[in-house]
Amino acid sequence: MPRVFICYRRDDSGGYVNFLYKLLCQHFSPQEIFRDLRTIEPGEDFVEAIESAIGECEVLLAVIGRQWLTIADSHGNQRLEDPHDYVRLEIASALQRNIRVIPVLVGRASMPTANELPDDLKRLARRHAVELTDRHFETDVTELANAIRSALGKATETLPRAYIPPPPPTYNLPLLEWCFVPPGKVKIEGVTCEVGAFWISKYPVTYMQYEKFVNSDGYSNRAYWTNAGWAWKGDKCNPEIRWNSPKWHIDNHPVVGVNWYEALAFARWLSTKLGTQSLLLPTEAQWQRAAQGDDEREYPWGGHYDKKRCNTFESGIAKTTPVTHYSDGVSAFGVWDMSGNVWEWCLSKWNDHFVFPEDNDPEGEDLRIVRGGSWFNLHSFARTASRYRLSPYYGDVFQGFRLVWGLT
């Protein structure tokens, strides 16, 4: 019999809930936790099943992400304002039954005020919330489990917990923050890929960060370059340094005009400064995993394009935007700017037909994967599954990159 009911919106917090569920199953039996349709048997009436589960549960977790209040239906109406909305019905039913309701905040969401809630949910605003932070997610879930256990009157013994290593340091680089991505699967051109856990930079690398690399010993140090990259830098290919254009040089905007060799050199330089050899460009599978989450989203925020959530050609901006601009466009794992703004270099070499494991050899002059689309491209290129490739020598005003720190 389920004793804990997890209430959430997939478009708002589905990726977080998948990880939350896995961690809670280390503290409670999976049979004690009800998690939407996946817990319902085939052929069972899901409305009756949900109502029955709420009636039997002792604790309801209302998982609230940054878009929980504002998500709209296909007609543009806020779902929470619909009296037949399932999230609203679930929480209202629990409140009416005096079931313990615990708001769970994810993705740096804020607790809604009573004025922002429908009348039958206003009591939710008076409930003490638990925040699950990206950096301390596993520890925060343990504290949440203790609160649930207290409500259920259970003993404090727990099963062994999953270990999440701390993120790499930041080297005093502004806006260098990290998001944890748990192990999971992605499908690329029909090929299923197992992806291990990793940390990914929350934002694309900015001009301010790249300048640190250029102004220190980084850009001119042979140790950070591949053979082909150093040959390019040595004027073998008459390189045009495009990242230093004053027009695009804005501190909190993504650095652009960086070719693949320059991006990898930055990653190697920062690895040395942080005392780790694990900082790299993301593989194609890692990039897609961070963008899609566990529910294979078409866009980082959900299933439909929204020009208010990313910077693509349709947005009409015609230039880059600050990496912190689109708070409603983050992925399930809290990663920003993965659709639009700038194409992002991946470590992986291009293959006309995707092959896994990927070829991530840093040497050579092969075409390299770029992902995410840009301010210059239509939104179809900004889909999480959209693939493209460029010469590693090529750097233009719609290209940037971000970093990963692998754990396996």
Instruction: Name which of 335, 282, 278, 340 is nearest 306 in CA terms.
Output: 340
Domains of the chain: 4-152 (3.40.50.10140), 178-406 (3.90.1580.10)
- Secondary structure letter of residue 56 according to DSSP: H
pTM, entire model: 0.63
The pLDDT value given to residue 408: 52
pLDDT, one tens digit per residue, over 199-230 is 999 999 999 999 999 998 889 999 999 999 99
The C-alpha atoms of residue 398 and residue 75 are separated, in whole angstroms, by 33
pLDDT in tens, 78-127: 999 988 888 998 998 888 777 899 999 999 999 999 899 988 898 899 89
Sequence-separated (6 or more) residues with CB below 8 Å from residue 93: 51, 54
Q: What share of the chain in percent tops pLDDT 90?
A: 58
